[in-house]
Amino acid sequence: MFDSIIPLLSDPAAWAALVTLIVMEVVPGIDMVLIAEGFGTHGPKGCIYAAMAFSAGVGALNMASRKAAVRKQAALDARQVSLNKAETAEQGV
């Protein structure tokens, strides 16, 4: 039973999908509570702030992850260009 779960737990794409689903459930909840606050219904502020901090944290991690991926791809491209130049250079010149 757990043999099918172990590869899933080690897959970063599965974790990214899970976090995305959680955020997609948290953000509308924040919106609904804030709309209710606008109509005069008061709810627990700590839960709202915790959910907002969670969403902001996930957003920051997502931006950092994308930036790192762009940097990594740029480094790979630069390395490939230098390897191509080294291959095409004349020997002994």
Q: Are 23 and 55 in contact (CB under 8 A)?
A: yes
As a whole number of angstroms, the distance between CA 21 and CA 25 comes to 6
As a whole number of angstroms, the distance between CA 43 and CA 92 comes to 77
Identify the pLDDT of residue 80. Answer: 92
In terms of residues, how long is the chain? 93
Identify the pLDDT of residue 73. Answer: 92
Encode pLDDT of 55-67 as tens digits. Answer: 788 788 878 888 9
What's 89's DSSP letter? S
Q: Are 24 and 30 in contact (CB under 8 A)?
A: no
Residue type present at position 11: D
The pTM assigned to this predicted structure is: 0.54
Residues of the chain with pLDDT under 70: 1-2, 8, 90-93
Closest CA to 49 of 67, 37, 61: 37
Identify the pLDDT of residue 91. Answer: 67
Q: Could you tell me the two tokens for 71?
A: 């940097």
